[in-house]
A and B are shown apart, each in its own frame.
Chain A
């Protein structure tokens, strides 16, 4: 059985309530942190754990925390990024829905370490029923003396507030989130200054993902060194993967980053293979922004080595033959899926979500959607493929925030690996309306068991 640090208790009856969570050992990490450790010692443990941010960028969290400015007399804030909106990603929702106290405990520990007396959870507006769950957990934690004034006699005061967004993917970008929290449009800010220096209301701010902050609980419980022993290399600890697409058992899984991609897709412990005995065509392993890989590059790297579910292995080969761990949004496409159409839905998504501040992204995402739509509906020209390539290249790296890159990469990777499928759409416009291109040479290169 795999090691579970976050979801271990997810199936305990009533774990959503304080009473059961506490009975199952909840809030002992908080007691340890506040009574036995200094804020600096918590940051040290976090550094030792080697944990990388679970939102998508994978930046070491301990290092991020150590950047926070501490000017005399200026309040600091922790903001929990629960604006989960990357297509394919639904892991934070699972954590908040089923283990709200785990997040609240992690948030209080983190608030203590960073010196935040007012901490905000910024949650995407569509998750409209979850604030009630979180606010109930906050009320219970407060009644138990873990929130409010002078927590556990330490002199530390802390309140947690839940703020709903209103439908904007861009607010998952930390400076856009800060703008939104200030009651403005979600336009990302130019960095520097970084939020650690000038964040919400110009105060030093740390923004971290839900899963990242929940992981503080096991890190404090077991110690950073023990946490770092789980996993492999710079992929320490456990990671939540939300699996979707053509899978027998889509859902949220906690993995320890030592398992292979093949095991994750085909074993009964995880996704249980692909329905109806279909074969694997392609996969986007880390949320819609990361490069799509054909089956033959997904299960094995270009060097022919087994590919594993961790930061290093998933990015092995760079963008030429690899992808990224990203947010852990794992999207699987079987042999019947059309890569052109799938890419079109992603291009439409990014056009819809572009904030409009930078012209390469505002204009480019619209152009890419239009061209992809032409190709998909049989009105494409051969030159469109190079045009698409040219547009994505001019977006990447030329915008204030990474949404531009996120919009460019899926298009680039689709053309890089599936160019003949694009060409087929253009040379066979009628046929492409009634059937899909199919599997071709992207077939899974290794024998895989057929599951029911």
Chain B
């Protein structure tokens, strides 16, 4: 397991943002980078590699990786639907959206489809309350969700996956 030369240059650039000897500050950005690079989740090997890059002990990485909700500690689907379920989204009908995705994909929150394509996850407030109901899909938000929008998003993901195969 190793970052590409490109990514290693990025790692050095990130570490240079902090004072000498404070390279541990780069831990969160490096875990994001590693998760993107090594299959969408953080295995023990991945975390050990990040520890090595920063000259810190593996436990310092584990304790951080387990604290923050965006780090996946087990494999997830290629497309993760992270649907917000906090108050303002609840008021605008997120329960119906979650139920619809469950029905449509046959997975409950926390589960992944058998083909490994989709994971459904319920999350807490993502700061899109005025555009609810909503979900995070990869880097971006999908807002003003309706059942029809959900259908379109699922279709879009399937098409993208088919193209990449």
Q: A-side interface residues toward B, CB under 8 Å?
A: 75, 84-90, 93, 118, 120, 124-129, 159, 161, 163-169, 180-186, 201, 242-246, 250-252, 284, 288, 329, 331, 333, 337, 341-342, 345-346, 348-349, 352-353, 355
Taking CB as reference atom, which chain A residue is nearest B25? A183
A250 touching B32, Cβ below 8 Å: no
Query: Are A353 and B129 also in contact (CB < 8 A) when A128-B140, A341-B90 are?
Result: no
Verify B28–A166 contact, CB threshold 8 A: yes
Closest B residue to A249 using CB positions: B130
- What is the bound-complex CA distance between A116 and B18, given in angstroms? 13
From A120, A129, A161, A333, contact of B91 by CB (8 A)? A333
Segment from B1-9, B68-76, B99-107 that makes contact with A: B68-76
List of B residues within 8 angstroms of A165 by Cβ: 28, 68
Note all chain A residues with C-beta closer than 8 A to B149.
Answer: none
- The answer to whether A87 and B87 touch (CB under 8 A), given A166-B69, A166-B71, A168-B67, is yes
Q: Is the CB of A331 within 8 A of B129?
A: yes
What residues of A have a CB within 8 angstroms of the CB of B139 in the complex? Answer: 128-129
Interface residues on B, range: 35 or more
> In the complex the two chains form, is B91's CB within 8 Å of A183's CB?
no
Flag whether B43 is at the interface (Cβ < 8 A).
no
Closest 10 CB pairs of A and B: A183-B27, A166-B68, A167-B69, A244-B129, A250-B130, A167-B70, A183-B24, A87-B125, A185-B67, A166-B70
* Closest beta carbon of chain A to B55's beta carbon, Å: 12
| 1/0 contact string of B43-82 vs chain A (CB within 8 Å) | 0000000000010100010011001111100000000000
Q: Which residue of A lies closest to B90 (CB)?
A: A345
Is B146 an interface residue, CB under 8 A from the partner?
no
CB distance from A204 to the nearest CB of B (A): 14
Give bound CA distance, A245 to B89, whole Å: 8
Nearest chain A residue, comparing its CB with the CB of B129? A244
Instruction: Give the one of B22, B64, B86 with max A CB within 10 A.
Output: B86
Binding site for A on B (CB under 8 A): 17-19, 22, 24-29, 31-32, 54, 56, 60, 63-64, 67-71, 85-88, 90-92, 123-132, 136, 138-140
B69 to chain A, nearest CB (A): 4
Tell me the minimal C-beta distance from B26 to chain A in angstroms.
Answer: 7
* Complex Cα gap A8–B133 (Å): 28
How far is A180 from B25 in the complex, measured between Cα atoms in Å? 8
| B127, A168: Cβ atoms closer than 8 Å | no
The docked-state distance in angstroms from the alpha carbon of A199 to that of B92 is 40
Which listed residue (A75, A85, A342) contacts B87, Cβ 8 A? A342
Residues of the B chain whose Cβ atoms lie less than 8 Å from the Cβ of A349: 86-87, 124-125
* A169–B84 alpha-carbon span in the complex (Å): 14
Q: Give the Cβ gap from A337 to chain B, nearest Cβ, in Å.
A: 6
Please tell me if the beta carbons of B22 and A161 are within 8 angstroms of each other in the complex. no
Q: Which residue of B lies closest to A336 (CB)?
A: B91
Chain B residue at minimal CB-CB distance from A83: B127
Q: Which residue among A127, A201, A245, A349 has the maximum number of chain B CB atoms within 10 Å of its CB?
A: A245
B residues near A167, Cβ cutoff 8 Å: 68-71, 123
CA distance A154 to B31 in the complex (A): 38
Smallest beta-carbon distance A168→chain B, Å: 5
Residues of A with C-beta under 8 A to B123 = 167
- Report the nearest A residue to B139, measured CB to CB: A128
A410 → chain B closest CB, angstroms: 9
- Which chain A residue lies CB-closest to B24? A183
Determine which of A125, A342, A346, A355 lies in contact with B70 in the assembled complex, contact meaning CB atoms within 8 Å: A125
Q: How far is the CA of A71 from the CA of B151 in the complex (A)?
A: 60
Determine how close the nearest CB of chain A comes to the CB of B151; give it in whole angstroms: 24
- Min CB–CB distance B99 → chain A (angstroms): 15
**Is A329 a contact of B86 with CB atoms below 8 Å?**
no
